[in-house]
Amino acid sequence: MVDDDSSDVDLVAAAATGQVAALRLLHRRHAPWLRARLARRCANGDVVDDAIQDTFVAVWRGAGRFDPGAGEVAAWIWTIGVRRLISSLRTSRAAHEELDEAHAITESAEDRVLLGVEHGDLGAAMGSLSPELRAVIQATVLDGLTTREAARLLGIPEGTVKTRAMRARAKLRRALA
């Protein structure tokens, strides 16, 4: 049985066994901050809402594959959420390209950057980073979190965030040079 005092890890484990109440609690805890962070990346509220819904569907379906030793539940949910947002933007972009040019909606600069991170030279360079370095760059640069916020999200000390960010930036500079 799950309740408000259950840890996130316990809730994910309960969701993996089909307990809908666990998913509801995860959603209540994490959807507000996820919405705020995704809204900073995309001005279209409908796209953000779709990404959040898709995120929690993915959490429900993937709960059995969550590895508690790999990091915090919030970081796992954020990774799913930002990928769902990028996917929604990609779908939205394809739909907009089909519209007549006079009726097309212009993408924001942030939307283009997010798509570039996924598919451009930066995406390839980010893909070459270790998961630990990539997570720090995503949290501090793409998500705009402070070192303290990133440390809490990733479950690592602030000094480790700073060191990993420095190493990641150096590797990205070399990869993009």
According to the model, what pLDDT value does residue 124 have? Answer: 78
pLDDT digits (tens, 9 = 90+) for 74-101: 888 988 998 888 887 776 655 555 544 4
According to the model, what pLDDT value does residue 24 have? Answer: 95
CB 77 within 8 Å of CB 55: yes
Most confident listed range (54-63, 100-109, 145-154): 54-63
Measure Cα distances from 65 to 59, 73, 74, 162, 165 in Å: 10, 12, 15, 29, 28
Measure Cα distances from 35 to 31, 49, 105, 141 in Å: 6, 8, 22, 18
Q: 112 and 99 in one domain? A: no
Residue with token string 């569907």: 57
Domain residues for the domain of 153 are: 107-176
First-to-last CA distance in the chain? Answer: 54
Q: What is the pTM of this model?
A: 0.58
Among 80-94, 116-130, 138-152, 154-168, the minimum mean pLDDT is found in 116-130
**Cα four-point dihedral sign 28, 149, 69, 82:** positive
64: pLDDT strictly greater than 60 = yes
Q: 120 and 78 in one domain? A: no
According to the model, what pLDDT value does residue 45 have? Answer: 87
CATH number for position 81: 1.10.1740.10
CB 15 within 8 Å of CB 63: yes
CATH number for position 114: 1.10.10.10
> Which residue among 69, 103, 137 closes a domain?
103
Domains contained in the chain, number: 2
Among 34-48, 59-73, 115-129, 136-150, the minimum mean pLDDT is found in 115-129
- Return the higher-pLDDT residue of 7 and 71: 7
54: pLDDT strictly greater than 80 = yes
Nearest in space to 62 (alpha carbons), one of 27, 13, 10: 13
CB 109 within 8 Å of CB 119: no
Q: 98 and 21 in one domain? A: yes
Q: 85 and 139 in one domain? A: no
> Which residue among 103, 132, 161 closes a domain?
103
102: pLDDT strictly greater than 50 = no
